[in-house]
Amino acid sequence: MFQGRNFIKIQDFSQKEIEYLIDFAIHLKKLKQARIPHEYLKGQNIALLFDKTSTRTRASFVVAANDLGAKVEFLGPSDIQLGKKETVKDSAVVFGSMFDGIEYRVSSQSDVEEMAEFAGVPVWNGMTDLWHPMQMLADYMTLKEEFGKLVGLKLTYVGDGRNNVARSLLITGALLGVNVSIASPEELLPSEDVVEEALELASASGAVIEITTDAIKAVTNANAIYTDVWVSMGEESQFEERIRLLKPYQVNRALIEKASDHVIFMHCLPAFHDNKTTISQMTLTQYGLAEMEVTDEVFNGTWARQFPQAENRLHTAKAVMAATNGNLFIPTID
Ligand code: CP
Ligand code: NVA
């Protein structure tokens, strides 16, 4: 049911299919832990195209492909002609004639779609300004591992409600029957088209969707509180405005204690939770802030699940590549 398909955005898949990919990733995690080989891509060559920086997406695809028996080639923006001397379409045809699968991180969603249209091999979205579907599999897998189920859980996202991660969490929760609350300042609430799409999916899954400017209301009874950077890649010129708007939406102890007794903290990473990175040092000093979207206390507290989330990027990348491009029979997962 997955063979030959692209993985471009979550809503191209059904609830059952996304649940399958999550369960398959949990299965592959067990195989990895038991050191049982799972070379579903043996002999293949995988291209990793990155127009933006990455730690998790790059590392997870490299290790996942290696574990699956494939070889990878990393192609960064200064390595290839794409984007300067050559179009997405021409590059897609060339890469598709040599590689068996292509991961692509780039700002524009339409570039990933064009790559998929002309490559003739599966294309996996490594994040655009609109969607981050690979992140979603890892996030909802982490929730399933924590709570043993997905339907009926409540995930609250606090922060920039318009960014790729917030949009993706909303759509994925709505598809999977997870209640999603988004708390953002008025200026950064999710756009109407995404909310409409989420409500449509939620009417089929039974999920409850809440969009509000009230962070305390949003976290009430939450099983997970999720945040992301206040300034996404490519938006650096908006630092000052974002800090002004989002300062009241920091995830800290006071906020997290308003949620349910068993609440976890989630973040896709990278995070500005202290002043130890070059950008955060500069930003924090400049704007008189001690921490940004999450306090160090929460980031290092018992609630924190951002590193299991990051690890799960490996297992979910593997699930997507094996399911859409595997050479071998893919098992049915109970
Ligand atoms: N979460 C995530 O996609 O991280 P990277 O930007 O490091 O790949
Ligand atoms: N919203 C962030 C996510 C990084 C994984 C960004 O686009 O930079």
Do the domains 10-131 and 135-311 sit in the same CATH topology, yes or no?
A: yes
- How far apart, in Å, are the Cα atoms of 276 and each of 203, 246, 279? 44, 21, 9
Query: How far from 141 is each of 51, 77, 117, 155, CA to CA, in Å?
Result: 27, 31, 29, 13
Ligand 1 atom closest to Cα of 134?
Answer: 3
pLDDT tens figures, 114-160: 999 999 999 999 999 999 999 999 999 999 999 999 999 999 999 99
Provide the annotated binding site for L-ornithine.
164, 228, 232-233
Ligand 1 pocket mutation, candidates 56, 58, 169, 232, criterion most atoms within 8 A of CB: 56
**pLDDT computed for residue 281 by the predictor:** 64
Q: What is the pLDDT of residue 289?
A: 78
Residue stretches of the annotated binding site for carbamoyl phosphate: 54-57, 81, 105, 132-135, 268-269, 313
DSSP 186: G
User: Which pLDDT tens digit goes with each residue over 272-326?
Assistant: 887 677 766 666 777 777 789 999 999 999 999 999 999 999 999 999 999 999 9
Its ipTM equals 0.99
Q: Where are the domains of the chain?
A: 10-131, 135-311
Helix ranges restricted to H, the chain: 15-33, 56-67, 88-98, 109-119, 133-147, 164-176, 192-205, 215-219, 239-246, 253-256, 278-287, 296-299, 306-325
Token pair, residue 322, equals: 């094996």
* Residue whose C-alpha is closest to residue 291's, from 271, 270, 305, 320: 271
- Could you give the CA distance from residue 139 to residue 266 in angstroms, rounded to a whole number? 8
Q: Report the atom number in ligand 1 closest to the C-alpha of 58.
A: 8
Q: Which is the CATH superfamily of the domain at 135-311?
A: Aspartate/ornithine carbamoyltransferase (3.40.50.1370)
Ligand 2 centre distance from Cα of residue 226 (Å):
13
Per-residue pLDDT averaged across 328-332, rounded? 71
Mean pLDDT of 206-219: 98
Give the distance (Å) from ligand 1 centre to CA of residue 83: 21
The answer to whether the CB of 299 falls within 8 A of the CB of 266 is: no
How many other CB atoms are there within 10 angstroms of residue 281's CB atom?
12
Coil, helix or strand at residue 48: strand
CATH architecture of 10-131: 3-Layer(aba) Sandwich (3.40)
